[in-house]
Structure 1
Amino acid sequence: MKKSKILLATIFVALIGLITIAADHIDAPSASGTSADITDFYAFQGENTDNLVFVANVQGLLSPTATTTASFDENVMVEFNIDTNDDKVEDLVIQAIPRDGKMYFFGPYAPSQTGLNSTINEMATKSVVAISSSSAITSSQNGMQFFAGPRDDPFFMDFAQYGEIIGGNATAFNNPGADTFAGTNVLSIVVEVPKSEIGGSGTINTWVEAKAKQ
């Protein structure tokens, strides 16, 4: 059994409907520039409507040049948390851990402990996908699909216009706006899982955490 503790106390809570998005970029100095820095969390129904897709993007604002050498920190686990009974405590987790050019996924399974500390149950369902630096290498195992690697940052925000609005110099965003994140990349971890594995058709709460090896 391996134990991990939390590194980044940034948690994104989402109530699953059709699509839910939570975003944040580089406002946690201790994690900035590392794969512990969660930039975005997406949860949405898959093309196969019997599935849900979870996407955690980390290490944002990578230039194309920096992307070629960027890698997931092997001391950081990304954990998808799923609350099936609306008590705001995780009932299931899916854990993603990088090792030697591969991403190892455990779960979904009921964790032995909840909150800031996590234990990896190596007897839980495990799936592996190669970490891609270019093409979308995916893996389908145990009825789930996975991807890990760099991707264009999908989040859109016009920070310049936002600054003008906050400063009282504008009253609204432009249409179209200017994408501050255009040309920058993130490292993405993607999991597609059957709804039957995480609570069926009921409503769930979900959030993602980055946790450092103890």
Structure 2
Amino acid sequence: MKKSKIYLGIAIVAIAGFFTIAADHIDAPAVQGGTNDITDFYAFQGQNSNNLVFVANVQGLLSPTATAGAAFDENTMIEFNIDTTGDNVEDLVIQATARDGKMYFFGPAAPNQTGLNSTFLTGVTPNSVDITAYGSSAVVATNAGMSFFAGPRDDPFFFDFAQYSAIIGGTASGFNNPGSDTFAGSNVMSVVVEVPKSMIGGTGTINTWVESKRKQ
């Protein structure tokens, strides 16, 4: 699970280029190396300042060859959780799941239940987008002010893991400038949804986190 705090309403408008990230590449014990392993979570103000963008990346360190055969797990739900009241309990969720070459999105709406277990939202009409094939132009679907994307992307995260290991091991005192990007040339599978702030509500701080949940 990746968790961040961002600001809505007037506060966010005053912060140019606002951006938040949580990262954790292939080291969650229960999902390490699996198709539902979350590598990164990004939340930021959209190019349209009235919108928020949520990005979940899974399946890190995909080589170009591996990316060509990579696919979203149809038994996994990607769930973006949004807490608008500051109690660290999700008030709204956006759920995404793959099926037959498409990614289906439900919400934002109040969850059927809170906590670690989830069921798909009921009483809402899902949106969908064709999953972009590796090497193809990005396919983006739009509806009711929202935008949707799912497919492989170059891993945007930068980290010099070798130098980090040297620092931890006591053989180096700091990072190099420039460093060496461990993730250069590798890809991830991305799920992206952009929503109007009016669908989120609130005028102050929200907490947001993402989870991947396998069908039981």
Aligned residues of 2:84 and 2:202 also touching (Cα < 8 A): no
- Measure, in 2, the Cα distance between the counterparts of 1:125 and 1:50: 23
Aligned residues of 1:127 and 1:142 also touching (Cα < 8 A): no
Q: CA deviation at 1:200?
A: 4.3
TM-score (norm 1): 0.92
Aligned residues of 1:103 and 1:131 also touching (Cα < 8 A): yes
| Secondary structure of 1:33's aligned partner | coil
**Are 2:113 and 1:123 aligned?**
no
Between Structure 1 and Structure 2, the one with more strand by share is 1
Q: Which one-letter code corresponds to 2:211 in the other structure?
A: E
Q: CA deviation at 1:119?
A: 1.4
Q: Name the structure 1 match of 2:6.
A: 16
Aligned residues of 2:82 and 2:209 also touching (Cα < 8 A): yes
Which blocks of at least 5 consecutive residues in structure 1 are unaligned?
A: 1-10
Q: Which one-letter code corresponds to 1:15 in the other structure?
A: K
Runs of 4+ in 1 over 2 A off after TM superposition: 32-35
Q: Would you say how many aligned residue pairs link Structure 1 and Structure 2?
A: 204
Q: Which one-letter code corresponds to 2:48 in the other structure?
A: N
Further displaced range: 198-207 or 103-112: 198-207
Q: CA RMSD in A?
A: 1.1
**Are 2:56 and 1:66 aligned?**
no
- Measure, in 1, the Cα distance between the counterparts of 2:144 and 2:35: 26
Q: Which one-letter code corresponds to 1:171 in the other structure?
A: S
Q: CA deviation at 1:32?
A: 2.6
Partner deviation per Cα, 1:149-172 (whole Å, 9 max, x = no partner) = 000000000011101111112211
Q: CA deviation at 1:58?
A: 0.1
Q: Name the structure 2 match of 1:27.
A: 27
**Are 2:107 and 1:91 aligned?**
no
Q: Name the structure 2 match of 1:6.
A: none
Aligned residues of 1:93 and 1:109 also touching (Cα < 8 A): yes
- Measure, in 1, the Cα distance between the counterparts of 2:68 and 2:122: 31
- Residues 154-169 of structure 1 mapped to structure 2, 5 A cutoff: 154-169=156-171
| Secondary structure of 2:205's aligned partner | coil
Identical aligned residues as a percent? 70
Q: Which one-letter code corresponds to 2:6 in the other structure?
A: I
Q: Which one-letter code corresponds to 2:129 in the other structure?
A: V
